[in-house]
Chains A and B, each alone.
Chain A
Protein backbone atom coordinates (compact mmCIF):
# COMPACT_ATOMS: atom_id res chain seq x y z
CA UNK A 1 0.00 0.00 0.00
CA UNK A 2 1.32 3.43 -0.88
CA UNK A 3 1.98 6.08 1.73
CA UNK A 4 -1.28 7.95 2.23
CA UNK A 5 0.40 11.25 3.01
CA UNK A 6 4.01 12.19 2.39
CA UNK A 7 5.44 15.64 2.92
CA UNK A 8 8.90 16.34 1.55
CA UNK A 9 10.91 19.52 2.05
CA UNK A 10 7.84 21.64 2.59
CA UNK A 11 8.73 25.29 3.07
CA UNK A 12 6.44 28.26 3.42
CA UNK A 13 7.14 31.92 3.92
CA UNK A 14 4.88 34.92 4.47
CA UNK A 15 6.87 37.83 3.09
CA UNK A 16 10.10 38.05 5.07
CA UNK A 17 8.95 35.57 7.73
CA UNK A 18 9.75 31.93 7.12
CA UNK A 19 7.05 29.93 8.86
CA UNK A 20 8.17 26.49 7.76
CA UNK A 21 11.86 26.27 6.79
CA UNK A 22 11.98 22.62 5.70
CA UNK A 23 9.52 20.00 6.91
CA UNK A 24 9.42 16.36 5.88
CA UNK A 25 7.45 13.45 7.32
CA UNK A 26 5.29 10.56 6.25
CA UNK A 27 2.05 9.24 7.65
CA UNK A 28 1.44 5.50 7.56
CA UNK A 29 -1.85 3.99 6.28
CA UNK A 30 -4.68 4.18 8.81
CA UNK A 31 -2.48 6.04 11.23
CA UNK A 32 -3.34 9.10 13.26
CA UNK A 33 -0.34 11.40 13.17
CA UNK A 34 -0.16 14.24 15.67
CA UNK A 35 1.54 17.59 15.39
CA UNK A 36 2.25 19.28 18.71
CA UNK A 37 4.15 22.39 19.64
CA UNK A 38 3.76 25.86 21.02
CA UNK A 39 1.61 28.55 19.40
CA UNK A 40 3.11 29.85 16.19
CA UNK A 41 5.27 26.78 15.62
CA UNK A 42 3.65 26.19 12.22
CA UNK A 43 1.39 23.24 13.05
CA UNK A 44 -1.75 24.67 11.49
CA UNK A 45 0.19 26.10 8.56
CA UNK A 46 1.14 22.54 7.58
CA UNK A 47 -2.57 21.63 7.43
CA UNK A 48 -3.34 24.72 5.34
CA UNK A 49 -0.54 23.79 2.94
CA UNK A 50 -1.67 20.18 2.66
CA UNK A 51 -5.25 21.27 1.97
CA UNK A 52 -4.06 23.86 -0.57
CA UNK A 53 -5.93 26.58 1.30
CA UNK A 54 -2.47 28.16 1.23
CA UNK A 55 -0.85 27.64 -2.14
CA UNK A 56 2.40 29.60 -1.97
CA UNK A 57 4.49 26.77 -0.52
CA UNK A 58 7.44 24.93 -2.00
CA UNK A 59 8.34 21.28 -1.77
CA UNK A 60 6.21 18.24 -2.41
CA UNK A 61 3.06 16.98 -0.73
CA UNK A 62 1.71 13.69 -2.00
CA UNK A 63 -1.45 11.82 -1.17
CA UNK A 64 -1.30 8.13 -2.04
CA UNK A 65 1.76 8.81 -4.19
CA UNK A 66 0.12 11.63 -6.19
CA UNK A 67 1.25 15.22 -5.69
CA UNK A 68 -1.61 17.41 -4.45
CA UNK A 69 -0.55 20.12 -6.87
CA UNK A 70 -1.24 17.78 -9.80
CA UNK A 71 -4.66 16.74 -8.58
CA UNK A 72 -7.77 18.41 -9.95
CA UNK A 73 -9.83 20.39 -7.45
CA UNK A 74 -12.54 17.73 -7.38
CA UNK A 75 -10.09 14.88 -6.89
CA UNK A 76 -8.27 16.75 -4.13
CA UNK A 77 -11.49 17.52 -2.30
CA UNK A 78 -12.45 13.88 -2.34
CA UNK A 79 -9.09 12.71 -1.03
CA UNK A 80 -8.74 15.14 1.85
CA UNK A 81 -11.09 17.04 4.10
CA UNK A 82 -10.56 19.16 7.15
CA UNK A 83 -12.27 19.71 10.49
CA UNK A 84 -11.66 23.18 11.83
CA UNK A 85 -10.86 24.31 15.33
CA UNK A 86 -13.87 26.47 16.07
CA UNK A 87 -17.23 24.83 15.41
CA UNK A 88 -18.86 28.25 15.91
CA UNK A 89 -16.99 29.67 12.92
CA UNK A 90 -16.83 26.71 10.59
CA UNK A 91 -20.57 26.32 9.93
CA UNK A 92 -22.36 28.92 7.83
CA UNK A 93 -24.70 30.72 10.26
CA UNK A 94 -27.55 30.97 7.74
CA UNK A 95 -27.39 27.46 6.35
CA UNK A 96 -29.33 24.62 7.89
CA UNK A 97 -27.49 21.39 8.61
CA UNK A 98 -29.23 19.90 5.57
CA UNK A 99 -27.99 22.70 3.31
CA UNK A 100 -24.46 22.50 4.71
CA UNK A 101 -24.23 18.73 4.25
CA UNK A 102 -25.93 18.49 0.87
CA UNK A 103 -23.63 21.12 -0.70
CA UNK A 104 -20.62 18.78 -1.09
CA UNK A 105 -22.86 15.99 -2.40
CA UNK A 106 -24.32 18.32 -5.02
CA UNK A 107 -20.96 19.83 -5.98
CA UNK A 108 -19.52 16.37 -6.59
CA UNK A 109 -22.74 15.11 -8.19
CA UNK A 110 -22.78 12.03 -6.00
CA UNK A 111 -26.56 11.68 -6.14
CA UNK A 112 -28.79 10.03 -3.57
CA UNK A 113 -28.61 13.11 -1.34
CA UNK A 114 -31.18 12.10 1.28
CA UNK A 115 -29.77 8.64 1.88
CA UNK A 116 -26.25 10.01 2.20
CA UNK A 117 -27.32 12.69 4.65
CA UNK A 118 -29.15 10.19 6.83
CA UNK A 119 -26.20 7.82 6.75
CA UNK A 120 -23.67 10.48 7.72
CA UNK A 121 -25.89 11.86 10.49
CA UNK A 122 -26.19 8.38 11.95
CA UNK A 123 -22.44 7.94 11.61
CA UNK A 124 -21.72 11.01 13.72
CA UNK A 125 -24.39 10.17 16.27
CA UNK A 126 -26.91 12.90 15.54
CA UNK A 127 -30.63 12.29 15.06
CA UNK A 128 -31.82 12.72 11.48
CA UNK A 129 -34.34 15.34 12.65
CA UNK A 130 -31.40 17.69 13.32
CA UNK A 131 -30.99 18.11 9.55
CA UNK A 132 -33.46 20.97 9.63
CA UNK A 133 -31.75 22.86 12.42
CA UNK A 134 -29.55 25.90 12.07
CA UNK A 135 -26.11 26.11 13.68
CA UNK A 136 -27.34 28.50 16.38
CA UNK A 137 -29.81 25.84 17.49
CA UNK A 138 -26.99 23.37 18.18
CA UNK A 139 -24.52 23.09 21.04
CA UNK A 140 -20.78 23.30 20.43
CA UNK A 141 -20.35 19.54 20.46
CA UNK A 142 -23.27 19.01 18.10
CA UNK A 143 -21.84 21.62 15.75
CA UNK A 144 -18.49 19.88 15.73
CA UNK A 145 -20.29 16.62 14.90
CA UNK A 146 -21.93 18.37 11.95
CA UNK A 147 -18.52 19.68 10.87
CA UNK A 148 -17.15 16.11 11.04
CA UNK A 149 -20.14 14.85 9.08
CA UNK A 150 -19.51 17.49 6.42
CA UNK A 151 -15.88 16.41 6.16
CA UNK A 152 -16.74 12.71 5.97
CA UNK A 153 -19.61 12.89 3.50
CA UNK A 154 -17.10 12.99 0.63
CA UNK A 155 -15.42 9.85 2.04
CA UNK A 156 -11.89 11.27 2.05
CA UNK A 157 -8.84 9.09 2.62
CA UNK A 158 -7.15 11.81 4.67
CA UNK A 159 -8.80 13.80 7.43
CA UNK A 160 -7.02 16.91 8.63
CA UNK A 161 -7.97 17.88 12.17
CA UNK A 162 -7.06 21.37 13.32
CA UNK A 163 -7.37 21.21 17.11
CA UNK A 164 -10.85 19.74 16.72
CA UNK A 165 -11.62 19.80 20.43
CA UNK A 166 -9.77 22.81 21.84
CA UNK A 167 -12.86 25.05 21.58
CA UNK A 168 -15.01 22.53 23.45
CA UNK A 169 -15.79 21.68 27.04
CA UNK A 170 -13.78 18.78 28.51
CA UNK A 171 -16.65 16.26 28.61
CA UNK A 172 -17.67 17.19 25.06
CA UNK A 173 -14.02 16.86 24.01
CA UNK A 174 -14.13 13.26 25.15
CA UNK A 175 -17.28 12.59 23.13
CA UNK A 176 -15.81 14.08 19.97
CA UNK A 177 -12.51 12.21 20.37
CA UNK A 178 -14.35 8.93 20.95
CA UNK A 179 -16.43 9.64 17.87
CA UNK A 180 -13.32 10.30 15.78
CA UNK A 181 -11.70 7.10 17.06
CA UNK A 182 -14.80 5.07 16.24
CA UNK A 183 -15.14 6.58 12.75
CA UNK A 184 -11.45 6.01 12.05
CA UNK A 185 -11.85 2.35 12.96
CA UNK A 186 -15.00 2.04 10.82
CA UNK A 187 -13.94 3.99 7.74
CA UNK A 188 -10.20 3.46 7.87
CA UNK A 189 -9.17 7.00 6.96
CA UNK A 190 -5.81 8.47 7.89
CA UNK A 191 -5.64 11.42 10.25
CA UNK A 192 -3.27 14.32 10.55
CA UNK A 193 -4.11 16.09 13.77
CA UNK A 194 -2.86 19.35 15.20
CA UNK A 195 -3.11 19.74 18.94
CA UNK A 196 -1.29 21.32 21.80
CA UNK A 197 -2.87 19.01 24.34
CA UNK A 198 -0.61 15.99 24.84
CA UNK A 199 -3.44 14.14 26.58
CA UNK A 200 -5.47 14.34 23.37
CA UNK A 201 -2.45 13.23 21.35
CA UNK A 202 -1.88 10.35 23.78
CA UNK A 203 -5.46 9.23 23.32
CA UNK A 204 -5.73 9.67 19.55
CA UNK A 205 -2.39 9.42 17.84
CA UNK A 206 -0.08 6.54 17.04
CA UNK A 207 2.86 8.81 16.41
CA UNK A 208 3.42 12.51 16.81
CA UNK A 209 5.89 15.17 15.81
CA UNK A 210 7.03 17.88 18.20
CA UNK A 211 7.44 21.17 16.39
CA UNK A 212 9.36 24.29 17.32
CA UNK A 213 9.88 27.39 15.13
CA UNK A 214 8.49 25.57 12.10
CA UNK A 215 10.82 22.61 12.37
CA UNK A 216 10.12 19.11 13.51
CA UNK A 217 12.43 18.48 16.45
CA UNK A 218 11.52 14.84 16.92
CA UNK A 219 8.97 12.25 15.79
CA UNK A 220 7.91 10.02 18.67
CA UNK A 221 5.55 7.07 19.12
CA UNK A 222 2.68 7.41 21.57
CA UNK A 223 4.43 5.10 24.02
CA UNK A 224 7.19 7.68 24.43
CA UNK A 225 4.95 10.15 26.27
CA UNK A 226 4.64 8.69 29.75
CA UNK A 227 8.24 7.52 30.25
CA UNK A 228 9.25 10.71 28.40
CA UNK A 229 11.58 8.95 26.01
CA UNK A 230 12.21 12.08 23.94
CA UNK A 231 15.85 12.83 23.20
CA UNK A 232 15.59 16.38 21.88
CA UNK A 233 15.77 18.87 24.78
CA UNK A 234 12.74 20.89 23.60
CA UNK A 235 10.56 17.79 23.16
CA UNK A 236 11.62 16.55 26.62
CA UNK A 237 10.78 19.91 28.15
CA UNK A 238 7.36 20.01 26.45
CA UNK A 239 6.43 16.50 27.57
CA UNK A 240 7.72 17.10 31.10
CA UNK A 241 5.71 20.28 31.38
CA UNK A 242 2.60 18.53 30.10
CA UNK A 243 2.96 15.59 32.51
CA UNK A 244 3.59 17.96 35.42
CA UNK A 245 0.46 19.90 34.44
CA UNK A 246 -1.64 16.72 34.23
CA UNK A 247 -0.41 15.61 37.66
CA UNK A 248 -1.16 18.99 39.15
CA UNK A 249 -4.74 18.86 37.89
Chain B
Protein backbone atom coordinates (compact mmCIF):
# COMPACT_ATOMS: atom_id res chain seq x y z
CA UNK B 1 0.00 0.00 0.00
CA UNK B 2 1.39 3.37 -0.93
CA UNK B 3 0.89 6.48 1.15
CA UNK B 4 0.24 9.63 -0.77
CA UNK B 5 1.00 12.75 1.22
CA UNK B 6 -1.81 15.06 0.18
CA UNK B 7 -4.15 17.60 1.62
CA UNK B 8 -7.63 17.64 0.16
CA UNK B 9 -8.84 20.42 -2.07
CA UNK B 10 -12.28 21.66 -1.10
CA UNK B 11 -15.17 22.75 -3.22
CA UNK B 12 -16.49 26.20 -2.33
CA UNK B 13 -19.74 26.18 -0.36
CA UNK B 14 -22.86 26.57 -2.46
CA UNK B 15 -25.00 29.67 -1.91
CA UNK B 16 -28.27 28.82 -0.19
CA UNK B 17 -31.51 30.27 1.18
CA UNK B 18 -31.76 31.15 4.88
CA UNK B 19 -31.29 27.81 6.60
CA UNK B 20 -34.44 27.62 8.71
CA UNK B 21 -36.73 28.29 5.75
CA UNK B 22 -35.23 25.86 3.25
CA UNK B 23 -36.68 22.58 4.58
CA UNK B 24 -40.10 24.16 5.18
CA UNK B 25 -40.21 25.63 1.67
CA UNK B 26 -39.09 22.28 0.27
CA UNK B 27 -41.80 20.38 2.13
CA UNK B 28 -44.55 22.80 1.10
CA UNK B 29 -43.31 22.76 -2.50
CA UNK B 30 -43.29 18.98 -2.48
CA UNK B 31 -46.82 18.80 -1.03
CA UNK B 32 -48.03 21.30 -3.61
CA UNK B 33 -46.78 19.23 -6.53
CA UNK B 34 -48.91 16.21 -5.71
CA UNK B 35 -52.66 16.77 -6.35
CA UNK B 36 -53.91 14.85 -3.31
CA UNK B 37 -51.73 16.59 -0.76
CA UNK B 38 -52.35 19.92 -2.49
CA UNK B 39 -56.07 19.27 -1.86
CA UNK B 40 -55.21 18.64 1.79
CA UNK B 41 -53.26 21.91 1.96
CA UNK B 42 -56.12 23.85 0.37
CA UNK B 43 -58.73 22.45 2.74
CA UNK B 44 -56.48 23.07 5.73
CA UNK B 45 -55.93 26.64 4.50
CA UNK B 46 -59.69 27.09 4.10
CA UNK B 47 -60.32 25.71 7.57
CA UNK B 48 -57.83 28.13 9.10
CA UNK B 49 -59.27 31.01 7.08
CA UNK B 50 -62.79 30.07 8.18
CA UNK B 51 -61.72 29.87 11.79
CA UNK B 52 -60.03 33.27 11.63
CA UNK B 53 -62.53 35.09 9.44
CA UNK B 54 -65.69 33.20 10.46
CA UNK B 55 -67.11 36.05 12.57
CA UNK B 56 -66.57 38.45 9.65
CA UNK B 57 -67.83 36.17 6.89
CA UNK B 58 -70.84 34.73 8.67
CA UNK B 59 -74.02 36.35 7.33
CA UNK B 60 -75.92 35.78 10.61
CA UNK B 61 -75.25 35.39 14.32
CA UNK B 62 -74.85 31.60 14.79
CA UNK B 63 -76.75 31.71 18.06
CA UNK B 64 -79.61 33.99 16.89
CA UNK B 65 -82.86 32.04 16.78
CA UNK B 66 -85.62 32.95 14.38
CA UNK B 67 -88.66 30.83 15.10
CA UNK B 68 -90.45 32.35 12.11
CA UNK B 69 -87.94 30.71 9.77
CA UNK B 70 -87.24 27.21 11.12
CA UNK B 71 -86.11 24.33 8.94
CA UNK B 72 -85.89 26.37 5.79
CA UNK B 73 -84.36 24.73 2.74
CA UNK B 74 -81.20 26.27 1.22
CA UNK B 75 -82.08 29.56 -0.47
CA UNK B 76 -80.51 32.88 -1.41
CA UNK B 77 -81.06 34.22 2.11
CA UNK B 78 -79.78 31.10 3.88
CA UNK B 79 -77.34 29.32 1.55
CA UNK B 80 -77.21 26.14 3.62
CA UNK B 81 -80.72 26.51 5.07
CA UNK B 82 -81.75 26.94 8.72
CA UNK B 83 -82.08 24.48 11.58
CA UNK B 84 -84.97 23.61 13.88
CA UNK B 85 -84.54 26.86 15.80
CA UNK B 86 -84.16 29.01 12.68
CA UNK B 87 -80.38 29.47 13.06
CA UNK B 88 -78.39 29.91 9.87
CA UNK B 89 -76.43 26.72 9.16
CA UNK B 90 -73.70 28.43 7.11
CA UNK B 91 -72.93 30.78 9.99
CA UNK B 92 -72.87 27.89 12.41
CA UNK B 93 -70.52 25.94 10.13
CA UNK B 94 -68.16 28.91 9.91
CA UNK B 95 -68.10 29.32 13.69
CA UNK B 96 -67.72 25.57 14.09
CA UNK B 97 -64.46 25.67 12.11
CA UNK B 98 -62.78 27.50 14.99
CA UNK B 99 -64.01 24.87 17.44
CA UNK B 100 -62.74 22.03 15.25
CA UNK B 101 -59.40 23.74 14.83
CA UNK B 102 -59.14 24.32 18.58
CA UNK B 103 -59.80 20.64 19.27
CA UNK B 104 -57.16 19.53 16.75
CA UNK B 105 -54.60 22.04 17.98
CA UNK B 106 -55.01 21.32 21.68
CA UNK B 107 -55.09 17.55 21.23
CA UNK B 108 -52.00 17.64 19.02
CA UNK B 109 -49.88 19.77 21.34
CA UNK B 110 -50.82 17.54 24.27
CA UNK B 111 -50.49 14.20 22.50
CA UNK B 112 -47.26 14.88 20.54
CA UNK B 113 -44.98 15.68 23.49
CA UNK B 114 -46.49 13.01 25.78
CA UNK B 115 -46.21 10.26 23.18
CA UNK B 116 -42.76 11.36 22.15
CA UNK B 117 -41.49 11.53 25.75
CA UNK B 118 -42.88 8.13 26.74
CA UNK B 119 -41.68 6.46 23.53
CA UNK B 120 -38.15 7.86 23.42
CA UNK B 121 -37.52 7.27 27.14
CA UNK B 122 -38.79 3.69 26.90
CA UNK B 123 -36.78 3.04 23.74
CA UNK B 124 -33.55 4.62 24.93
CA UNK B 125 -33.37 3.14 28.41
CA UNK B 126 -34.87 -0.24 27.57
CA UNK B 127 -35.10 -2.91 30.26
CA UNK B 128 -37.42 -2.29 33.17
CA UNK B 129 -38.24 1.31 32.23
CA UNK B 130 -39.30 0.10 28.80
CA UNK B 131 -41.43 -2.69 30.26
CA UNK B 132 -43.27 -0.43 32.68
CA UNK B 133 -43.93 2.37 30.17
CA UNK B 134 -44.99 0.01 27.40
CA UNK B 135 -47.37 -1.96 29.64
CA UNK B 136 -49.04 1.32 30.62
CA UNK B 137 -49.27 2.13 26.92
CA UNK B 138 -50.75 -1.31 26.25
CA UNK B 139 -53.45 -0.72 28.86
CA UNK B 140 -54.52 2.45 27.05
CA UNK B 141 -54.29 0.75 23.67
CA UNK B 142 -56.40 -2.20 24.74
CA UNK B 143 -59.58 -0.07 24.79
CA UNK B 144 -61.09 1.32 21.61
CA UNK B 145 -60.28 5.03 21.79
CA UNK B 146 -63.89 6.21 21.41
CA UNK B 147 -65.05 3.95 24.25
CA UNK B 148 -62.20 5.12 26.48
CA UNK B 149 -62.89 8.78 25.73
CA UNK B 150 -66.56 8.14 26.46
CA UNK B 151 -65.59 6.74 29.84
CA UNK B 152 -63.33 9.71 30.56
CA UNK B 153 -65.94 12.28 29.53
CA UNK B 154 -68.58 10.46 31.55
CA UNK B 155 -66.28 10.69 34.57
CA UNK B 156 -65.19 14.28 33.99
CA UNK B 157 -68.59 15.61 32.92
CA UNK B 158 -69.68 16.54 29.41
CA UNK B 159 -68.07 19.67 27.98
CA UNK B 160 -65.82 20.58 25.07
CA UNK B 161 -62.70 20.97 27.23
CA UNK B 162 -63.28 17.61 28.89
CA UNK B 163 -63.75 16.06 25.47
CA UNK B 164 -60.37 17.48 24.44
CA UNK B 165 -58.74 16.08 27.60
CA UNK B 166 -60.40 12.70 27.05
CA UNK B 167 -59.31 12.52 23.42
CA UNK B 168 -55.75 13.48 24.38
CA UNK B 169 -55.61 10.77 27.03
CA UNK B 170 -56.59 8.16 24.47
CA UNK B 171 -54.58 9.37 21.47
CA UNK B 172 -51.01 9.29 22.80
CA UNK B 173 -50.32 5.52 22.96
CA UNK B 174 -49.87 5.00 19.18
CA UNK B 175 -47.45 7.95 19.12
CA UNK B 176 -45.50 6.47 22.01
CA UNK B 177 -45.33 3.10 20.26
CA UNK B 178 -44.08 4.73 17.09
CA UNK B 179 -41.46 6.85 18.85
CA UNK B 180 -40.23 3.80 20.76
CA UNK B 181 -39.93 1.71 17.59
CA UNK B 182 -38.00 4.52 15.87
CA UNK B 183 -35.73 4.94 18.88
CA UNK B 184 -34.94 1.22 18.99
CA UNK B 185 -33.69 1.29 15.40
CA UNK B 186 -30.89 3.74 16.12
CA UNK B 187 -30.20 3.64 19.84
CA UNK B 188 -27.15 1.47 19.16
CA UNK B 189 -25.94 3.74 16.35
CA UNK B 190 -22.40 5.07 16.48
CA UNK B 191 -23.53 8.68 16.79
CA UNK B 192 -25.40 7.83 20.00
CA UNK B 193 -22.26 6.09 21.33
CA UNK B 194 -20.25 9.16 20.32
CA UNK B 195 -22.68 11.40 22.23
CA UNK B 196 -22.34 9.15 25.29
CA UNK B 197 -18.55 9.34 25.00
CA UNK B 198 -18.79 13.12 24.98
CA UNK B 199 -20.38 12.91 28.40
CA UNK B 200 -23.91 13.83 27.33
CA UNK B 201 -26.58 12.98 29.89
CA UNK B 202 -29.42 10.65 28.84
CA UNK B 203 -31.83 13.60 28.78
CA UNK B 204 -29.49 15.48 26.46
CA UNK B 205 -29.04 12.48 24.18
CA UNK B 206 -32.79 11.95 23.98
CA UNK B 207 -33.50 15.62 23.30
CA UNK B 208 -30.64 16.41 20.94
CA UNK B 209 -30.01 13.13 19.14
CA UNK B 210 -33.11 10.96 19.34
CA UNK B 211 -36.00 13.43 19.17
CA UNK B 212 -34.85 14.99 15.87
CA UNK B 213 -34.70 11.53 14.33
CA UNK B 214 -38.19 10.57 15.55
CA UNK B 215 -39.79 13.90 14.68
CA UNK B 216 -40.68 13.32 11.00
CA UNK B 217 -42.55 10.07 11.57
CA UNK B 218 -44.26 11.47 14.65
CA UNK B 219 -45.40 14.55 12.72
CA UNK B 220 -46.78 12.32 9.97
CA UNK B 221 -48.55 10.15 12.48
CA UNK B 222 -49.99 13.19 14.28
CA UNK B 223 -51.32 14.56 11.01
CA UNK B 224 -52.96 11.25 10.18
CA UNK B 225 -54.28 11.17 13.74
CA UNK B 226 -56.00 14.54 13.30
CA UNK B 227 -58.66 12.92 11.13
CA UNK B 228 -59.40 10.42 13.91
CA UNK B 229 -59.43 13.24 16.45
CA UNK B 230 -62.00 15.16 14.41
CA UNK B 231 -64.17 12.08 14.05
CA UNK B 232 -63.89 11.24 17.76
CA UNK B 233 -64.74 14.83 18.70
CA UNK B 234 -67.69 14.75 16.31
CA UNK B 235 -68.72 11.39 17.75
CA UNK B 236 -68.58 12.73 21.30
CA UNK B 237 -70.49 15.81 20.17
CA UNK B 238 -73.05 13.58 18.50
CA UNK B 239 -73.52 11.60 21.72
CA UNK B 240 -73.97 14.85 23.63
CA UNK B 241 -70.74 14.40 25.60
CA UNK B 242 -68.62 16.96 23.76
CA UNK B 243 -69.60 20.50 22.92
CA UNK B 244 -72.84 21.44 24.62
CA UNK B 245 -75.71 23.26 22.92
CA UNK B 246 -75.89 25.93 21.67
CA UNK B 247 -72.23 25.64 20.61
CA UNK B 248 -72.03 25.16 16.83
CA UNK B 249 -69.82 22.07 16.96
CA UNK B 250 -70.20 20.01 13.77
CA UNK B 251 -70.82 16.66 15.45
CA UNK B 252 -73.41 18.19 17.78
CA UNK B 253 -75.09 19.84 14.78
CA UNK B 254 -75.50 16.46 13.12
CA UNK B 255 -76.83 15.02 16.37
CA UNK B 256 -79.60 17.59 16.69
CA UNK B 257 -80.27 17.54 12.95
CA UNK B 258 -80.82 13.80 12.77
CA UNK B 259 -84.35 14.10 14.18
CA UNK B 260 -85.32 16.18 11.14
CA UNK B 261 -83.15 14.25 8.69
CA UNK B 262 -85.94 12.73 6.61
CA UNK B 263 -87.63 16.03 5.80
CA UNK B 264 -84.73 18.48 6.13
CA UNK B 265 -81.65 16.88 4.62
CA UNK B 266 -79.54 20.07 4.84
CA UNK B 267 -79.34 19.91 8.64
CA UNK B 268 -77.02 16.90 8.62
CA UNK B 269 -75.58 17.07 5.10
CA UNK B 270 -73.54 20.25 5.39
CA UNK B 271 -71.87 19.56 8.74
CA UNK B 272 -71.32 16.00 7.52
CA UNK B 273 -69.60 17.20 4.36
CA UNK B 274 -67.48 19.59 6.44
CA UNK B 275 -66.32 16.76 8.73
CA UNK B 276 -65.70 14.48 5.75
CA UNK B 277 -63.66 17.09 3.87
CA UNK B 278 -61.52 18.09 6.83
CA UNK B 279 -60.73 14.54 7.95
CA UNK B 280 -60.06 13.50 4.35
CA UNK B 281 -57.79 16.52 3.93
CA UNK B 282 -55.73 15.60 7.00
CA UNK B 283 -55.40 12.02 5.80
CA UNK B 284 -54.17 13.13 2.38
CA UNK B 285 -51.87 15.69 3.95
CA UNK B 286 -50.41 13.01 6.22
CA UNK B 287 -49.80 10.77 3.23
CA UNK B 288 -48.14 13.62 1.39
CA UNK B 289 -45.99 14.47 4.42
CA UNK B 290 -44.84 10.87 4.58
CA UNK B 291 -43.35 11.26 1.12
CA UNK B 292 -42.11 14.80 1.74
CA UNK B 293 -40.31 13.91 4.98
CA UNK B 294 -38.64 10.85 3.51
CA UNK B 295 -34.92 11.21 4.26
CA UNK B 296 -34.08 11.01 0.58
CA UNK B 297 -36.33 13.99 -0.09
CA UNK B 298 -34.87 15.87 2.87
CA UNK B 299 -31.44 15.51 1.37
CA UNK B 300 -32.43 17.61 -1.62
CA UNK B 301 -31.78 20.84 0.20
Contacts and interface: CB of A to CB of B under 8 A. Distances in A.
Contacts of B190: 84-86, 89-90
A174 to B, nearest CB: 5
Contact of B194 (A82, A93, A137, A175): A82
Contacts of A89: 189-191
A126 B198 contact: no
B163 to A, nearest CB: 36
- Closest 3 pairs between A and B when the two form their complex, measured CB to CB: A77-B199, A90-B190, A199-B1
Contact of B1 (A86, A95, A125, A246): A246
A233 interface: no
Contacts of B127: none
Contacts, number: 97
Most buried by A among B5, B8, B295, B299: B8
Nearest to A107: B199
Interface stretch (B60-68, B74-82, B88-96, B206-214): B206-214
Contacts of B6: 171, 174-175, 178
A78 B191 CA distance: 18
Given A174-B4, A199-B1, 13 more contacts: A51-B197, A82-B194, A82-B197, A84-B194, A94-B212, A95-B208, A107-B200, A129-B13, A150-B198, A174-B5, A175-B4, A178-B3, A249-B1
B197 A81 contact: yes
Interface residues of A, number: 51
Interface in B269-301: 295, 299, 301
Contacts of B295: 93
Given A141-B8, A150-B194, A246-B1, A103 B13 contact: no
19 contacts: A84-B193, A86-B190, A90-B190, A90-B194, A91-B194, A103-B198, A107-B198, A125-B7, A129-B12, A130-B10, A130-B13, A150-B194, A150-B198, A170-B1, A175-B6, A175-B7, A177-B3, A197-B1, A249-B1
A53 B8 contact: no
Contacts of A177: 3
Given A89-B191, A130-B10, A174 B197 contact: no
B204 interface: yes
Interface string A142-184: 1000010010001000000000000000110011011000000
A226 interface: no
A209 B20 CA distance: 50
B199 A108 contact: yes
Contact of B10 (A103, A127, A134, A175): A127
A154 B191 contact: no
B3 A174 contact: yes
Interface of A: 51, 53, 73-74, 76-78, 80-82, 84-86, 89-95, 103-104, 107-108, 125-127, 129-130, 132-134, 136-137, 141-142, 147, 150, 154, 170-171, 174-175, 177-178, 197, 199-200, 203, 246, 249
Interface string B1-23: 11111111010110000010000
A86 B209 CA distance: 18
Nearest to B13: A129
A171 B9 CA distance: 13
B16 to A, nearest CB: 9
A73 B7 CA distance: 35
A95 B298 CA distance: 13
Interface in B228-252: none
